[in-house]
């Protein structure tokens, strides 16, 4: 019996709907396949059950000639920063930016979220790190470093007694400026892309506390054999490892918590300063991260001095940034520091003495004189130092015993615009962490203009247009996450701190070295 016309009509509609559904579903599958292929979208499988790189080690080893960041990687992607190869507009500035590797966050077809970001850490004998911390009483001749080795290298926790609430309630520590090696190593222990398989590693970290080691011997008349014993033993051991022979150390890096000159003794005379770690042939192949670069080698890179603030979470950083935006700043400028001896005829001595003189004669300047015994303890107090910088629009940062100062980063943390007098104080130093355009976040006054009394600091700073001051202040506050080191056992989610920036920089540097090596090999074949 034939179906009624209405039944045939419904059969036709069902057939049309079925065909349409199959067609649309096919398009969705094609679209999903294209997304996976072209944009590096991770399959859900690799994010289930806390999957990590150990589940991935059966995958092919990443090529040495390509360095790719996955857009959906678990490793910190955070902020993308462009290559800083341009020369700043600051007068007298000389850069080595062409040698700085850049890590770009580009799409990846590799399903391993840590591809190109793996770091292998050498397991060194304890004499190179742990024993130095255990022997902390003898690390410095002038004071006991043991309190500063506590809390994973951050030092004693700061509990603010003042009702002024200069700091936040949590995560402030009396951190020593020479503690960077310990802080960096403890943070690296919690890096998301560590691997125990060195064949997967894009970089090899050597956790030698070179600064703590040399600090034991800088005073007291120790001979060069004593000072060089550990550096020579270290490079001898490294050169015998299979990881070394892969690139002869060019994928290795060390963090030194002192300035470059402490590791660059030229002669073997006992009266000369420091060790010759950085001049050893093996060390010349490695990249060395320092709180100040001597600027004479292509393998040394400056990273920020540690400050007093070590947040656990992103929100703590945002909270601090907001506080620095809103704080009232009654002083035009401030200076925290001590004069240099009159017998020292260097420009550093002259400008410090002149700065103190000008500050004392100006009502718009706040001086924290670290030479005065009455205020000396205040200069080592995170609350007092931060309070002075918070109260000022500009913070004076002349050279100290060397070109750079930890105070520069303390002032940036406090939202205070630094004033420099020598390009080597910052512009030629922190190529990964600070903007290439020095005038975007700081004021530059040539040192001779001050020492020869051609300018008055008060007059110069008061003439900076308000619009420029606001722009610099905005930039300074934006930079805060990149110049602080988080609490070592924590991880940040959406921001990049000084550790993240340094790791990204070293990975880019090593990848650039690999590319250059590949080009040389191809051209010679």
Evaluate whether residue 446 is within a structural domain: yes
DSSP for residue 389: H
The CATH number for 354's domain is 3.40.50.2000
* Unique residue bearing structure tokens 């007694």: 161
Evaluate whether residue 80 is within a structural domain: no
Strand runs labelled E in 331-416: 331-337, 365-369, 392-397
Evaluate whether residue 523 is within a structural domain: no
Evaluate whether residue 32 is within a structural domain: no
Q: Are residues 467 and 337 in the same domain?
A: yes
Residue range(s) defining the domain that contains residue 297: 119-306+499-517
Structure confidence at residue 297 (pLDDT) = 76
Q: Are residues 228 and 129 in the same domain?
A: yes
Evaluate whether residue 190 is within a structural domain: yes
CB 214 within 8 A of CB 258: yes
Structure confidence at residue 35 (pLDDT) = 44
The pLDDT tens digits for 46-101 are 333 333 443 333 333 333 333 333 333 333 334 433 333 333 334 444 445 445 65
Evaluate whether residue 275 is within a structural domain: yes
Structure confidence at residue 158 (pLDDT) = 96
Structure confidence at residue 220 (pLDDT) = 86
Residues of the chain with pLDDT under 70: 1-17, 20, 22-110, 296, 341-349, 372-376, 519-525
Evaluate whether residue 58 is within a structural domain: no
Q: Are residues 203 and 266 in the same domain?
A: yes
Q: Which of 213, 182, 138 is nearest to 146 (CA)?
A: 138
Residues 6 or more apart whose CB falls under 8 angstroms from that of 395 comprise 333, 334, 335, 336, 389, 407, 411, 414, 416, 417, 418, 419
Q: Are residues 212 and 265 in the same domain?
A: yes
Q: Are residues 148 and 286 in the same domain?
A: yes
CB 161 within 8 A of CB 192: no
Structure confidence at residue 235 (pLDDT) = 97
Length of the chain in terms of residues written: 525
Quote the number of domains for the chain: 2
Q: Are residues 278 and 358 in the same domain?
A: no
Q: Are residues 253 and 148 in the same domain?
A: yes
Q: Are residues 278 and 334 in the same domain?
A: no
Structure confidence at residue 112 (pLDDT) = 87
Structure confidence at residue 30 (pLDDT) = 57
Structure confidence at residue 516 (pLDDT) = 79
Q: Are residues 297 and 362 in the same domain?
A: no
Evaluate whether residue 168 is within a structural domain: yes
Q: Are residues 279 and 408 in the same domain?
A: no
**Phi, psi angle pair for 105, to nearest 5°:** -95, 95
Q: Are residues 290 and 397 in the same domain?
A: no
Q: Are residues 366 and 419 in the same domain?
A: yes
DSSP for residue 71: T
H runs (alpha helix) in 253-403: 281-285, 314-326, 347-360, 382-390
Structure confidence at residue 59 (pLDDT) = 38
């Amino acid at each position: 019996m034939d179906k009624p016309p209405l039944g045939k009509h419904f059969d036709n509609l069902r057939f049309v709907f079925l065909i349409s559904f199959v067609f649309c579903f096919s398009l969705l599958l094609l679209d999903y396949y294209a997304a996976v292929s072209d944009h590096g979208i991770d399959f859900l499988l690799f994010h289930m059950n806390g999957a990590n790189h150990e589940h991935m080690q059966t995958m092919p080893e990443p090529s040495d000639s390509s360095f790719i960041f996955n857009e959906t990687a678990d490793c910190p992607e955070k902020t993308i920063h462009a290559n800083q190869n341009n020369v700043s507009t600051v007068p007298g500035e000389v850069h080595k930016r062409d040698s700085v590797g850049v890590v770009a966050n580009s799409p990846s077809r590799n399903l391993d979220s840590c591809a190109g970001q793996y770091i292998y850490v050498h397991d060194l004998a304890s004499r190179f790190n742990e024993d130095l911390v255990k022997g902390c009483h003898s690390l410095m001749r002038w004071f006991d470093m043991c309190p500063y080795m506590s809390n994973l290298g951050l030092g004693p926790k700061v509990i603010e007694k003042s009702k002024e609430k200069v700091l936040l309630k949590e995560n402030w520590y009396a951190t020593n400026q020479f503690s960077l090696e310990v802080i960096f190593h403890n943070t690296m222990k919690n890096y998301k892309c560590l691997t125990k398989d060195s064949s997967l590693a894009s970089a090899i970290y050597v956790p030698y506390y070179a600064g703590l080691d040399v600090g034991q011997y800088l005073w007291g008349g120790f001979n060069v054999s004593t000072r060089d014993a550990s550096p020579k033993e270290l490079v001898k051991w490294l050169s015998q490892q299979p990881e070394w022979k892969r690139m002869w150390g060019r994928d290795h890096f060390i963090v030194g918590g002192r300035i470059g000159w402490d590791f660059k003794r030229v002669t073997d005379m006992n009266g000369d300063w420091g060790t010759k770690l950085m001049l050893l042939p093996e060390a010349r192949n490695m990249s060395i991260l320092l709180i100040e670069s001597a600027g004479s080698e292509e393998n040394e890179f400056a990273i920020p001095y540690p400050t007093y603030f070590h947040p656990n979470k992103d929100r703590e950083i945002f909270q601090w940034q907001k506080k620095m935006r809103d704080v009232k700043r009654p002083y035009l400028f401030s200076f925290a520091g001590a004069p240099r001896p009159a017998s020292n005829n260097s420009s550093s001595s002259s400008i410090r003495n002149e700065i103190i003189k000008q500050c004392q004669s100006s009502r718009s300047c706040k001086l924290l004189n670290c030479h005065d015994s009455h205020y000396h303890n205040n200069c080592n107090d995170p609350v007092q130092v931060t309070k002075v910088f918070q109260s000022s629009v500009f913070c004076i940062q002349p050279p100290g015993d060397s070109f750079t100062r930890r105070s520069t980063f303390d002032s940036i943390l406090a939202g205070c615009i630094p004033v420099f007098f020598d390009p080597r104080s910052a512009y030629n130093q922190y190529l990964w962490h600070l903007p290439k355009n020095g005038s975007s976040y700081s004021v530059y006054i040539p040192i001779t203009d001050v020492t020869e009394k051609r300018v008055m600091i008060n007059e110069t700073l008061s003439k900076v247009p308000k619009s420029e001051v606001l722009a610099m202040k905005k930039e300074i506050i934006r930079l805060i996450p990149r110049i602080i080191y988080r609490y070592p056992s924590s991880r940040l989610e959406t921001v990049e701190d000084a550790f993240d920036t340094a790791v990204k920089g070293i990975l880019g540097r090593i990848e650039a070295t690999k590319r250059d090596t590949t080009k040389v090999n191809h051209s010679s074949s």
